[in-house]
Amino acid sequence: MSEAPLPEQAPDQAMEHSSEPAPEAAAAFDDPDTHRFECRSCGFVYDPGEGIKKLAVPPGTPFSALDPGRFRCPVCRSPVKAFKDIGPRNKPSGFEENLGYGLGVNQLTPGQKNVLIFGGFALAIAFFLSLYSLR
């Protein structure tokens, strides 16, 4: 007897092929050479796009290219082992499973959230001060 493929298997195979580009796009976004690293001792953040002038580390130098024997945190002198990967600069903050909620606000980067929050405060203060012109 020859086994014919069940009709249920065809959609599964189609779904596997349609989901292939998503991991490639995620891999391009999650390039470890663009990730920032934070010192767990003092909170200093090493950003490869900025480098460190004080230690003559040029911009564009990934954290993995730094010499673990010689590199120390420029603030507290902690070794490379004290640094933790905190992801790329433009990554939305928060848990991955919550990014689809919050009317799209959860997908904003931390800088965009700051502009939204403090811009709202400035607008509220401007409206409050405009009440003095009603006299």
Quote the pLDDT of residue 29: 56
pLDDT range class, residue 119, cuts 50, 70, 90: very high
98-134 core/surface letters (b: 16 or more CB in 10 A; e: else)? eeeeeeeeeebeeeeeeeeeeeeeeeeeeeeeeeeee
What type of residue is 53? Answer: K
pLDDT range class, residue 19, cuts 50, 70, 90: very low
Selected residue with higher pLDDT from 46 and 7? 46
What residues does each domain of the chain span? 32-91, 92-135
Architecture of domain 32-91: Single Sheet (2.20)
Tokens describing residue 98? 């919550």
Q: Which of 26-35, 63-72, 105-114 bottoms out in mean pLDDT, i.e. has the lowest? A: 26-35
> What contacts 24+ positions apart, CB below 8 Å, involve 17-21?
none
